[in-house]
A and B are shown apart, each in its own frame.
Chain A
Amino acid sequence: MPIEFCWPMERRSLEDYYEMILRCAKCEFCKNVFISNTEHWQFAKQCPPGERFGFAAYYATGRIEIARGLLEGELKWTDKLLHILYTCTTCGACEHWCSIFREVYPLKIIMEMRIKAVKEVGPLPAHKRLMENIVKYHNPYGESHEQRFEWLPSTVKTSGESSLVYFAGCSSSYRQQQIARSTVNILSKLGVKFNVLGGEEWCCGAPLFEVGLVDEAKKTLEHNIKTLNKMKVEKVVFTCPACMYTFKEASKYEIEEPKFELQHITDFLLPKLEKIKMKGLNEKLTYHDPCRLGRGLGIYEQPRKILKLIPGLELVEMPRHMEDSWCCGGGGGVLAQYPDFALWTASQRLEEMKFVGVKKLVTSCPACKTTLSLAIPPRLRRAREIQVVDVMELLSKVIP
């Protein structure tokens, strides 16, 4: 079969995408939310770098042309080209719509370009630091590996015999520990026996995969998979969508594949929560779909259903939600390398939250929580006038 008619997963390098690149019709559907979902034009845009930097190069259509330029030998790696390439938050909005309309798969092309960039000119400085930290400390923050599970409350008992493992991930272990604590408290309250990996839990590799450092990423991911396979666990639950997405994609990388089921915590908890009566919470809030959880893993309904189970809670949707969601700005290595742009992206989301008259935003991703929280102006943060929380934090308050 000619390569142009192959499913994109069959393509193994940027060169394999050339025919697909030519297929891009510049229809621009990759820039906006689905047209028929548009109610408020000011919240119809979907590509953060395109909207921030303006030139065609910063949208998916432009990046595809950059790929063509590289393949045709017309463009060389320059600082500007790397800026264009690495300001993509890899939110996948372009990929989502294009997979329906034109089947060009811009995000896959961008990821192939990043792999090529790393091979030919090496990683960007911030990404190199991430890599060094992950290799040395098994987390991207350079924190002590020994302290990884310090968040685990002494009151919570894990079960070494349980076939269920909670994979906390680096963000929840070091930066958003209240999410991990809330999660294990909820599991305990619901009588769920679970285990954790302790010192054997390493970074899943997502921060490296996202910036093209695939070889290093594969090693750390495979360590986790091998450990879990050896433990003969049946199921692993995640609070971090990026971790789960990375495990799910393992089969792409010719490494040992997981012999266990993967489940996001909201998906895992929903049927259990439907059977209990939760405490009331008289609050009005909105839900932010994390890119990896929504467009990546297709989990849109479960967190919403959970929120709707909480008595008194009013869930208000932002104009861009579900498949149309606007990225928090932190993905794809952007928060590490271009923090100002990441926070600009997050601030756009907070504007959208204000537009629907809500002061509290709930999400189900520790990385989204980090980026969105950082974008709250200090005065408002101090006064707690705008809050960003995880579904797990909210649940821990209402589960009796």
Chain B
Amino acid sequence: MGEKDPVYEELVNILGDRVSKDPEIRWTYTRDLEGPLTTDLKRLRRLPDYVVLPETTEEVQKIVLIARNYKVPITLESTRISVKGLAVAIRGGIFIDLRRMNRILEIDEENMTATVQPGVTIAQLSCELQKRNMLIPVPGTPATVSVVSNYLGCGWPGGKARMLSIGLGYRSVVGVEMVLPDGTILNTGSKSDVFIGKDFWPHGMGPDLFLLPYKAYGAFGIITKMTVKCTPIEKELKVFWIAYDNIDSAMEAHNRIVRLDLVPNLHLYAGDKYAGYANDTLESHDRMNRAQPEFQIILTLAGTKRQVEYQEKVIRKIAKETGGRIIVDKLPIYQSFIDSHLGMAGSFGAVWSMRYYTSRGGSWTSTPTLPVDKIPDNWKAFSRAILKDPDYGDPNFGRGEFWRSIIVYPVEGGHYVWGVEKGVDLFIQDPKCREMLLRLHKANLEEQAKVGISDPGFIKDWYTGSLGKPFGVHFEVSKKFKKTLDPDNVMQPGYIYP
């Protein structure tokens, strides 16, 4: 007879066969995309003690109460596509796999909102919305990712559709239902108003708790329901690319276009961003790199036919005045931007994002959010970091597989740029390349610091303090919130709150 396991027994009482403590089942929750990105697999190699598959908010609530009662840590995942090791139970405990909470609860066509459970993917919701001629703006993420975690986490860099006009994912959230660490069910947004009780306005009663779960990675509770804004699909769409030979001209065009508030979407890509998407060998990768312009502005023109014609006319004028060349191309990758604008459900971009992120392509270092005027400095700092590295060498004429790249995403009217992604193309399966990446990451942070840009880069380094940086008052205050809501630190321990 084995020892009694009251946690397991209580979980089984609630969930029946949707709970497991078999080592084979638990083992499969020990790795996410983190694996190929770092050599740190062993640090993460901790099995959860139990894996559970809840289907309702009430079940989640009961699981949380068991965890609180027995002081057992909880780790969460929705659709298992965490890129930063956040869905690994590094302290053991209960692993809540939310993939069975995969119902679209409501699509309110009149108010243009959709309410989903956390296991609903971008593809799933987009598929239903497109039947109603609507979409959700989603970033450059695989369509298999959860809408909820994508809108509330910040783990996945990128963003294509409507980043400029609407902004980051959280801007589309109208309200959430959340199970707090003490089992309380909290509604944010207008649903928190007991007289209204409907999701249509994100801020609801004051003080506003709208952003409590944002970037908290489950530390403040588990979202069991989210209502998001949907937008109508425009009649006319066109993707437009302008090529530049230097970042200053590209930035001039970038600034002029965003200040006109002309198009829903604009990105500035530098370097060899696309080679990784489309090539499987170093040789073809290198060939494509050399054929690509150094800097590219990618725009999505959208609206009525007349609106798109007007947008094109203005952009052609700006391109001419800033020395840009209009690229006309029929490569599938260009089509991906149209697809992504349509909600990602049919996106080459979604597929290729994943390929690029880990396959034969690039890997990223620091991705700070910056004011617009800092972008050229940021690029130059990165270039210096590459230049002084003996293995990377000359970024333009050195080894093709280590070409630098950068992506700039202007957000919400272009007042700032989010996630200035910087990376190099290397074969991350090669341990030497992993070493090089970590070395470059460190050099890049040093160079950035010299021009007043601070960004710790990898999320786990950031929160676990492995970079040795003090976190400041902001973090200390948030720790007080955490202590109040979750005195035993059972929710997602070991990432933000050690």
Contact = CB atoms under 8 A, between A and B. Distances in A.
Chains A and B bind each other: yes
Interface of A: 4, 19, 22-29, 31-32, 35-36, 38-41, 44, 54-57, 61-62, 65-66, 68-69, 74-75, 78, 80-81, 84, 100-103
Interface in B136-168: 142-144
Given A31-B144, A75-B23, A84-B24, A101 B123 contact: no
Nearest to A33: B123
Contact of A22 (B18, B36, B345): B36
B429 A4 contact: yes
B124 A41 contact: yes
A32 B144 contact: yes
A29 B351 contact: yes
A38 B359 CA distance: 25
B334 interface: no
B29 interface: yes
A22 B345 CA distance: 27
Given A28-B142, A35-B346, A55 B354 contact: no
B94 to A, nearest CB: 14
27 contacts: A4-B429, A23-B36, A23-B358, A26-B32, A26-B80, A28-B80, A28-B142, A29-B354, A35-B143, A35-B345, A35-B350, A36-B345, A38-B124, A41-B124, A54-B53, A54-B99, A56-B51, A57-B27, A61-B80, A66-B24, A68-B31, A69-B24, A69-B27, A74-B45, A78-B24, A100-B351, A101-B351
A92 to B, nearest CB: 19
A38 B339 CA distance: 14
B24 A35 contact: no
A57 B20 CA distance: 11
Contacts of A31: 144
Nearest to A36: B346
A57 B345 contact: no
B56 interface: no
Contact of B123 (A24, A26, A38, A57): A38
B192 interface: no
Given A19-B429, A23-B358, A55 B80 contact: no
A65 B80 contact: no
A102 B359 contact: yes
Nearest to B31: A65
B28 A102 contact: no
Interface string B16-42: 001010111101111111011000000
Please classify how large the interface on chain B is, using the bins under 10, 10 to 19, 20 to 34, 35 or more: 35 or more
Nearest to B131: A39
A35 B36 contact: no
A263 B487 CA distance: 68
Contacts of A28: 79-81, 142, 144
Given A25-B358, A29-B144, A54 B351 contact: no
Contacts, number: 122
A58 to B, nearest CB: 9
B84 interface: no
A81 to B, nearest CB: 5
Given A36-B345, A54-B53, A62 B28 contact: yes
Contacts of B300: none
B100 interface: yes
A55 B28 contact: yes
A388 B144 CA distance: 33
A35 B18 contact: no
B97 interface: yes
Interface of B: 18, 20, 22-25, 27-33, 35-36, 45, 51, 53, 79-82, 97, 99-100, 104, 123-124, 127-128, 142-144, 339, 345-347, 350-351, 354-355, 357-359, 429
A288 B248 CA distance: 57
Contacts of A84: 24-25
Contact of A75 (B24, B81, B346, B429): B24
A224 B45 CA distance: 48
Nearest to A38: B127
A75 B47 CA distance: 12
A44 B29 CA distance: 24
Given A27-B81, A55-B20, 18 more contacts: A23-B358, A23-B359, A24-B35, A25-B357, A25-B359, A26-B33, A35-B143, A39-B127, A55-B25, A55-B97, A56-B29, A57-B27, A57-B28, A61-B80, A81-B24, A100-B351, A102-B358, A102-B359
A35 B82 CA distance: 19
A61 B127 CA distance: 24
A130 to B, nearest CB: 25
Contacts of B18: 54
A125 B350 CA distance: 43
A294 B123 CA distance: 25
B358 A80 contact: no
B353 to A, nearest CB: 9
B142 A29 contact: yes
Given A19-B429, A22-B35, A56 B97 contact: yes
A361 B31 CA distance: 41
Contact of B144 (A27, A65, A81): A27
A344 to B, nearest CB: 14
B124 A102 contact: no
Contacts of B358: 23, 25, 102
Identify the 3 closest CB pairs spanning chains A and B, nearest first: A36-B346, A62-B28, A28-B144
A74 B127 contact: no
Contacts of B81: 26-28
A129 to B, nearest CB: 25
Contact of B347 (A23, A35, A65, A101): A35
B189 to A, nearest CB: 26
Contacts of B27: 57, 65-66, 69, 74-75
A30 to B, nearest CB: 9
A27 B355 CA distance: 9
Contacts of B143: 35
A25 B429 contact: no
Contact of B28 (A29, A66, A101): A66
A81 B22 CA distance: 9
Contacts of B429: 4, 19, 22-23
B351 A65 contact: no
Contacts of B359: 23, 25, 102-103
B33 A25 contact: yes
Contact of A44 (B79, B104, B124): B124
Contacts of A69: 24, 27
B354 A25 contact: yes
Contacts of A68: 31
A57 B351 contact: no
Nearest to A39: B127
Contacts of A25: 33, 36, 354, 357-359
A41 B23 contact: no
B228 to A, nearest CB: 16
A58 B374 CA distance: 48
A86 to B, nearest CB: 13
Nearest to B37: A25
Contacts of A26: 31-33, 80-82
Contacts of B97: 54-56
A32 B22 CA distance: 26
A75 B22 CA distance: 11
B13 to A, nearest CB: 18
A66 B25 CA distance: 9
A126 to B, nearest CB: 21
A66 B47 CA distance: 13
B25 A35 contact: no
A32 to B, nearest CB: 7
Contacts of B30: 65
Given A25-B358, A65-B27, A66-B28, A55 B53 contact: yes
A20 to B, nearest CB: 9
B473 to A, nearest CB: 36
Given A22-B36, A35-B144, A57 B354 contact: no
